[in-house]
Chains A and B, each alone.
Chain A
Amino acid sequence: MTTIAPARVALRPGTEELVFLGRSLRHSLRNAEALTMSILLPVMLMLLFTTVFGGAIDSTGGYVDYVVPGIILLCAGFGAASTAVDVATDMENGIMDRFRTMPIRSWAVLTGHVVASLVRNLVASVVVVGVGLLVGFRPNATPLEWMGALGIVALYILAITYLFAAIGLAAKSPAAANGYGFILLFLPYLSSAFVPVDTMPEWLRWISDHQPITPVIETIRGLLMGTELGTRPLWALAWIALILAISITWGAILFRRKAGRR
């Protein structure tokens, strides 16, 4: 050996999070297919709804302004599902045992995946908004309202990414983790994202009104298009807080229980 190995040094606060975020971002960049899909698919969906379905739903051409906030939300969570696969893959790998036997907060591995997902999805959201503006989306929001919309989108991404991370911990394999994600991605279709809820049958309307996606979408719509907000932002924040609390608690329990078992 050319030099003597240095001694272990106590970590500065936040080192684990930074190192693991760097790791997860490298993973994201090297998974070219997933990266392309996470940007291309939302853009395709945006174009599908605005150009193909739009004319049939609202022949006056105003559908763009209605649907883009919904699409932003639909796409916001699209890339989050891959977090479940990332987490499940890590849990299967011996590297997790290595992290756990080091004097570090190994939970930070998940934080790294979650923050990387937030970064990926925010980039995708910006692209979707950009394409939306190109195809005729005309919001009337002030810069402050834009910030508010961005904030609520970011919180929503964070909440569902943590939920997907917990699903990744609960899944028996990366393939299974991939499958569970599908159900969650279906929820936006049963909300006010694409059509107003009062066009739905009575029983479905009740579900749409009382599921977390609708208040989040209506908040974004209110901020960007100036529709009435009411108590919607409060409901949106409450739902997001609830999803975060449940996901993190559930995840923490699963994470501890899985130590030493693969």
Chain B
Amino acid sequence: MTPAIDVRSVRKSFGGTAVLADLDLTVERGTVFALLGPNGAGKTTLINILSTLVRPDSGTASVDGHDVVRESLAVRRSIGLTGQSAAVDGVLTGAENIRMMARLSGLSPRQAKAREVDLLERFGLDDAGRKRAATYSGGMRRRLDLALSLVVTPSVLFLDEPTTGLDTRSRLALWDVIRSLRDEGTTVFLTTQYLEEADQLADRIAVLDRGVIVAQGTADELKRRTGGEVVELRGDADELLEEIPTDGTLSGLRRAIDELDARYDDGAVTLRKPSLDDVFLTLTGSADTSADKKELVRK
């Protein structure tokens, strides 16, 4: 079976700046794939290429077995996209937005009405359905946006930072939706800045840095490469005084605590899992940046 997404040696530059440099990527069908990376890493550009909005300069990419340049229409039949900025019509109500997308997907007016009722309920927008989308909160808009991508079930769903700016409850609800979509057979390709999100959802993760994939694997595989927990020292107001990454061994942990003990009189010690920053800094090997960051934190 062909993979859901297959990217080979894709390059893309804007105005002489390379955004994607020789990218290779494969996503198996029916899995959740997370592309992890900081702002400006090229995540959105890759999604734009895979969703036929932008052509790659060179290389090939296929989605659901169709080439994104030569068979863009076939790709568009297979995909759904929820981008970073909510792609909803603010002048129309939530219900009208859903009906419009349903009609544009070839459903009859009656089917469109049925989808409207289902989706408003599924995304907790029943009460807001008759209000203009412009009056929605950020979280509601994101939910409507996702509902619009699911008017017909796509084989591949692209989610560009779907939970950025959402509160915890909305985020957890969205995670549930993503999981159930995968269980129904949809391949989900999402980008995120949060390791935890990738950790919770993704079958596989790739880390993108300055247009290059610097690591790929399951969440556990990536964390093993990062090392152990991070020791944090926090002051009275819970402000971060200092953080020291450890190698995960008992002696490493002791050394970190001794170091903190020698420099601070007071504070509460916590252990936390490596964050995206830690994974990222380890993977890109920029230890200097790491030191700079601690300087900033100490101030």
Please report A residues at the B interface, Cβ cutoff 8 Å.
1-12, 15-16, 19, 22-23, 26-27, 30-31, 93-104, 259-260, 262
Known contacts A7-B153, A102-B76; A30 and B91 CB within 8 A of each other: yes
A27 CA to B89 CA, complexed, in Å = 10
A259 CA to B55 CA, complexed, in Å = 10
Provide the B76-120 mask, 1 if CB < 8 A to any CB of A, else 0: 110101011111111110001000100111110001001100100
Asked if B121 is at the interface of the complex by the 8 Å CB criterion, the answer is yes
Known contacts A27-B91, A97-B87, A103-B77; A9 and B107 CB within 8 A of each other: yes
Contact of B87 among A31, A98, A104 (CB under 8 A): A98
B118 adjacent to A23 (CB under 8 Å): no
Give the interface size class of chain B: 35 or more
B118 adjacent to A8 (CB under 8 Å): no
**Residue numbers in A under 8 Å from B69 (CB-CB):** none
B83 adjacent to A94 (CB under 8 Å): yes
Q: By CB atoms of chain B within 10 A, which of A4, A8, A23 has the most?
A: A8
**Residue numbers in B under 8 Å from A100 (CB-CB):** 52-53
**Can you sample 16 A-B contacts with CB below 8 Å?**
A6-B111, A6-B115, A12-B106, A19-B104, A26-B91, A94-B84, A94-B88, A97-B51, A97-B53, A99-B104, A100-B52, A101-B81, A102-B105, A259-B53, A259-B54, A262-B85
A23 adjacent to B105 (CB under 8 Å): no
B89 adjacent to A103 (CB under 8 Å): no
Known contacts A2-B118, A101-B79; A16 and B104 CB within 8 A of each other: yes
A9 CA to B104 CA, complexed, in Å = 9
A12 CA to B106 CA, complexed, in Å = 8
Contact of A26 among B73, B87, B96 (CB under 8 A): B96
List 19 extra interface pairs beyond A8-B152, A94-B87, A100-B53, CB under 8 A.
A1-B118, A2-B122, A5-B153, A7-B152, A8-B77, A9-B105, A9-B107, A15-B104, A23-B89, A27-B91, A94-B85, A94-B86, A94-B88, A98-B81, A98-B87, A103-B76, A103-B77, A260-B53, A262-B85
Chain A residues touching B, majority SS: loop
Q: By CB atoms of chain B within 10 A, which of A10, A23, A259 has the most?
A: A23
